[in-house]
Chains A and B, each alone.
Chain A
Amino acid sequence: LAKTTQPISMDSYEGQEVNITCSHNNIATNDYITWYQQFPSQGPRFIIQGYKTKVTNEVASLFIPADRKSSTLSLPRVSLSDTAVYYCLVGDIRDTGKLIFGQGTTLQVKP
Chain B
Amino acid sequence: NAGVTQTPKFQVLKTGQSMTLQCAQDMNHEYMSWYRQDPGMGLRLIHYSVGAGITDQGEVPNGYNVSRSTTEDFPLRLLSAAPSQTSVYFCASSQGLEQFFGPGTRLTVL
Q: A49 in the interface, Cβ–Cβ < 8 Å? A: yes
Q: A13 in the interface, Cβ–Cβ < 8 Å? A: no
Asked if A34 contacts B43 (CB within 8 A), the reply is no
Partner of A97, one of B31, B35, B90: B31
Per DSSP, chain B at the interface is: strand
A94 CA to B74 CA in the complex, in Å? 18
Contact with B along A44-63 (1 / 0, CB 8 A): 11100100000000000000
Asked if B48 contacts A97 (CB within 8 A), the reply is yes
Per DSSP, chain A at the interface is: loop
Size band of the interface chain A makes with B: 20 to 34
Binding site for A on B (CB under 8 A): 4, 31, 33, 35, 41-45, 48-50, 56, 58-59, 88, 90, 92, 94, 96-104
Binding site for B on A (CB under 8 A): 32, 34, 36, 41-46, 49, 85, 87, 92-94, 97-104
